[in-house]
Amino acid sequence: MNIFRLAGDMTHLASVLVLLLKIHTIKSCAGISLKTQELYALVFATRYLDLFTDYISLYNTLMKLIFLVSSFSIVWYIRHHKIVRRSYDKDQDTFRHYFLVLPCFLLALVINEKFTVKEIMWTFSLYLEAVAILPQLVLLQRTRNIDNLTGQYVFLLGAYRSLYILNWIYRYFTEPHYVHWITWISGLVQTLLYADFFYYYFQSWKNNVKLELPA
Amino acid sequence: DNPKPPKDEL
């Protein structure tokens, strides 16, 4: 495992922990899109089916379990926790799941490496992860006013994606036969979706002012 | 034939 991959996994883990910390300590999920969190839970549930069939390493298995448990816990908190759920802004978080889930599934049926259930689910999870942040970005745009933790959460997710791209470049030059078109293209699309947010995040950081997105 | 590397990413 190279340094970019490890740093990518760690920022991904940090993003989830920041979110859980916010929900658990402040007992608030204000500004967090439940739609995005449900999509991530679906992403992990469909991608990590190989937990039952392949063993890669203890690290790999543990991280997969952490992402599965944390994503479902976050969804549970927002939906069912008696205090947290009151801070959920249902009227602003209106993105429809199926606008993203259905096209991703159809695309996975057509463009995949192998026409098997496991492979199609894995491909679907990659396509869905690429666009799962959209409800969150729409919510940020609508509410405009972003608290620090929510801003950091999205920033860490973007950092994780950028580091994964560096990881692929590194692996491409150091490992034989390392070519993964589906992973690369969907990963690139996913990272580009953060570009706009990153721009405003860095502006606010540079000028030392609160992050606010333009209407 | 190139062997496919295992899917070791998360």
ipTM of the complex: 0.84
- Give the tens place of pLDDT for each residue, A34-77: 999 999 999 999 999 999 999 999 999 999 999 999 999 999 99
B1 touching chain A per CB within 8 A: no
Percent of chain A with pLDDT over 70: 99
Comparing alpha-carbon positions, the chain A residue that sits nearest to B5 is: A178
What's residue A160's pLDDT? 96
Which chain B residue has the Cα nearest residue A58?
Answer: B8
The pLDDT confidence band at residue B3, using thresholds 50, 70 and 90, is: low
Give percent of chain B with pLDDT exceeding 70.
Answer: 40
The beta-carbon neighbor of A50 closest among B2, B3, B7 is: B7
pLDDT for residue A205: 81
Mean pLDDT of chain A: 93
Are A126 and A182 contacting, i.e. CB atoms less than 8 angstroms apart?
yes
Q: What is the pLDDT of residues A88-99, one digit of tens each?
A: 989 999 999 999
Instruction: Verify whether the Cβ–Cβ distance B10 to A177 is below 8 Å.
Output: no
> Is there a contact between B5 and A63 if contact means CB atoms under 8 Å apart?
no
A147: pLDDT confidence band, cut at 50, 70 and 90? confident
Residue A81 at interface with chain B, using a CB cutoff of 8 Å: no
